[in-house]
């Protein structure tokens, strides 16, 4: 995602979520990605009305991996974390679409992969979490076959379409994220390893 293409709408949305007036130069690709990621992960945690300890631990572990790459924006990310919960951004797909408008297919799939990992964190792949993730994937314009691959892999049910699986592996290839901050390539490598493991 090219920061120069970040719209004023995204800057205003992040300002509202964080409760802080932001300038375009405050909004890095990683901050935008993290806001979308926090929203989806929080949505998965909240949707079944049971917040498992494993889910909170998974949220902290996932965020820590990304936040370390944005040390100078830790306070902003903390404000975004609180703002997402307070404003329930995870229940507003329009805001997620705004945040991800400039994301590549690989970036959107990376987001969804972490959502699915969160759903499986407590050992119970809840149908409400699955429906939430499918709905978000559809709103973000992700190929339904790719969502079906994540469904199969993380629920450990059904048969994976080999062609769609190969496409998902290609989209999540760490090389797809080389032009990003290195944390994206590490995240893609992590998710790819989960797909290999399953």
Which two tokens mark 75?
A: 């306070």
CB 59 within 8 A of CB 41: yes
CB 17 within 8 A of CB 76: no
CA distance 107 to 104: 5
Pick from 36, 160, 147, 163: which is nearest to 102 by CA?
36
pLDDT digits 0-9 by tens, 73-97: 788 889 999 999 999 999 998 999 9
Confidence band of 149 (pLDDT split at 50, 70, 90):
very high
* Predicted local distance difference test score (pLDDT) of residue 69: 64
Res 188 pLDDT > 90: yes
Coil, helix or strand at residue 22: coil
Pick from 73, 67, 80: which is nearest to 39 by CA?
80
CA distance 175 to 184: 10
Average pLDDT over residues 36-50: 89
Average pLDDT over residues 50-71: 79
Q: Please name the helix (run of DSSP H) or strand (run of DSSP E) that holds residue 40, with its range, or none.
A: helix 29-47
Tell me what the pLDDT averaged over the chain comes to. Answer: 88
């Amino acid at each position: 995602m090219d920061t120069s293409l970040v719209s004023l709408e995204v800057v205003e949305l992040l300002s509202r979520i964080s409760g802080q007036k932001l300038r375009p130069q405050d909004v890095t690709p990683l901050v935008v990605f993290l806001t979308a990621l926090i929203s989806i992960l929080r949505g998965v945690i909240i949707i079944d009305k049971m917040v498992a300890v494993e889910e909170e631990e998974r949220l902290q572990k996932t965020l820590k991996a990304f936040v370390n790459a944005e040390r100078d924006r830790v306070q902003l990310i903390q404000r975004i974390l609180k703002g997402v919960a307070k404003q329930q951004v995870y229940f507003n797909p329009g805001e997620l679409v705004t945040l991800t408008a400039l994301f590549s297919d690989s970036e959107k799939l990376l987001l969804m992969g972490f959502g699915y990992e969160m759903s499986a964190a407590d050992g119970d792949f809840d149908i409400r979490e699955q429906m939430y993730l499918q709905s978000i994937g559809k709103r973000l314009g992700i190929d339904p076959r790719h969502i079906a691959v994540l469904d199969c892999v993380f629920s450990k049910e059904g048969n994976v379409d080999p062609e769609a699986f190969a496409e998902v592996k290609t989209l999540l290839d760490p090389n797809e994220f080389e032009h990003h901050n290195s944390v994206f390539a590490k995240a893609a490598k992590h998710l790819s390893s989960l797909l290999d493991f399953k």
